[in-house]
């Protein structure tokens, strides 16, 4: 990804886009300026500050790092590539070994570069409570860089490895709390036309997988059961700095911040921000699902490594995966203790 839209001032909405993301000249569409229905429609959670039961959960950073290396060994993983196909098989095998029910949401995306087959992969871990927490990551790598050796260590691989490390913590037990679904989104990156030099990032030409799944889950009623969707993206940077995002749901981001404080990781969260980030959470926010994008958009000085062949494993650290993974697990515990109420009141508000 990613587009970052700064908002503000006189007329209230979108003024300009900081093209932190994909290649150059990414433009903010009207759609992305309206991308925060989840953010504006959801009120603060219940004042009752219920504490989660039991001890905090932790990922194994050594295993997360191993998964990262295994994913990178597939090479570039843009849609239509061999690496993408092999990653899909790898994810199926790993998730099934963890006892998850694994499903595919296959479709053909109509892109400026032609029709491309894509599939989201969803791994389901059943819980004891009625409701779902979705954790997401995108699995494709940058399309315009497909003719290079770009393998997206941070942008694509880090968050995918992290979800596998989280799956290790969910395996083999009936979860106390909401069901947890891991959503591996395909087609997040922008697919511009084949015209040389056309590197524009735009809303209709990206987020193919998440738009498809959000639509499908809206039709089959799943979206209404989702208590929270936590998206991870670019979370491996050694110099970790998670941004605050105005396209995310405020109470859920507050909960992520609280989880970070509980673990002593508050200095890595929300020092920067103030913009609306275009990422796989947005299509779900548009349907009123509470969402939070956990993303570090300062990858190298002034985000210099983002969407370049410099996005390599030497810039990342297992510690950053651990911090993000543990904060996600702690946020899940908070949602299980309190989030159901928040989500319920949010939906009520939207119906008014």
| Binding interface with Zn ion (CB under 5 A) | 1, 155
- In the complex with Zn ion, which residue's Cβ is closer, 26 or 227? 26
CB of 309 to Zn ion, least distance (A): 13
Return the sign of the alpha-carbon dihedral for residues 197, 202, 204, 205: positive
**Nearest in space to 223 (alpha carbons), one of 212, 234, 215:** 215
- In the complex with Zn ion, which residue's Cβ is closer, 1 or 165? 1
CB of 125 closer than 8 Å to CB of 172: no
Strand partners of residue 134 = 181, 229
- In the complex with Zn ion, which residue's Cβ is closer, 1 or 157? 1
Distance CA(18)–CA(101), nearest Å, equals 40
Distance CA(223)–CA(286), nearest Å, equals 11
Element (H, E) at 273: strand 269-278
CB of 210 to Zn ion, least distance (A): 13
- In the complex with Zn ion, which residue's Cβ is closer, 155 or 253? 155
CB of 56 to Zn ion, least distance (A): 31
Write out the DSSP string of 113-150. TEEEEEEEEEEEE-EEEEEEEEEEEE----STTTTTT-
CB of 47 to Zn ion, least distance (A): 38
Q: What is the CA radius of gyration of the chain?
A: 18
- In the complex with Zn ion, which residue's Cβ is closer, 155 or 245? 155
CB of 194 to Zn ion, least distance (A): 19
The token duo for 294 is 């956990």
What DSSP state is assigned to residue 101? Answer: E
- In the complex with Zn ion, which residue's Cβ is closer, 113 or 335? 113
CB of 189 to Zn ion, least distance (A): 5
């Amino acid at each position: 990804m990613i587009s970052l839209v700064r908002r503000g001032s006189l007329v209230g909405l979108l003024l300009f886009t900081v093209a932190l993301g994909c290649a150059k000249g990414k433009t903010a569409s009207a759609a992305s300026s309206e991308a925060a229905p989840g953010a504006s429609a959801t009120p603060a959670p219940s004042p009752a500050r219920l504490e989660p039961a039991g001890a905090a959960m932790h990922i194994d950073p050594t295993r997360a790092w191993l998964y990262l290396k295994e994913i990178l060994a597939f090479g570039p993983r843009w849609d239509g590539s061999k690496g993408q196909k092999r990653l899909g098989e790898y994810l199926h095998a790993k998730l099934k070994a963890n006892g998850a029910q694994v499903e595919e949401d296959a479709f053909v995306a109509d892109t400026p570069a032609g029709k491309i087959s894509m599939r989201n992969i969803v791994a389901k871990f059943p819980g004891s409570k009625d409701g779902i927490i979705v954790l997401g990551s995108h699995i494709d790598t940058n399309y315009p860089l497909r003719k290079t050796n770009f393998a997206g260590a941070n942008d694509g691989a880090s968050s995918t490895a992290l979800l596998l490390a989280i799956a290790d913590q969910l395996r083999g037990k009936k979860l106390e709390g909401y069901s947890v679904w891991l959503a591996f989104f395909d087609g997040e990156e922008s697919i511009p036309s084949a015209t040389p030099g056309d590197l524009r990032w735009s809303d209709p030409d990206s987020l193919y997988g998440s738009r498809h799944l959000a639509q499908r889950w809206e039709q089959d009623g799943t979206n209404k059961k989702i208590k929270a969707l936590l998206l991870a993206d670019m979370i491996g940077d050694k110099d970790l700095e998670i941004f605050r995002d105005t396209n995310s749901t405020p109470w859920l981001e507050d909960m992520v911040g609280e989880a970070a404080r509980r673990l002593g990781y508050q200095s890595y969260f929300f020092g920067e921000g103030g913009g609306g980030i275009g990422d796989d959470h947005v299509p779900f926010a548009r349907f009123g699902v509470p969402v939070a994008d956990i993303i570090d958009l300062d990858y190298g000085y002034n985000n210099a490594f983002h969407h370049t062949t410099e996005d390599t494993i030497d810039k990342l650290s297992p510690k950053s995966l651990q911090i993000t993974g543990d904060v996600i697990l702690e946020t899940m515990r908070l949602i299980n203790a309190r989030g159901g109420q928040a989500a319920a009141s949010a939906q009520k508000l939207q119906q008014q």
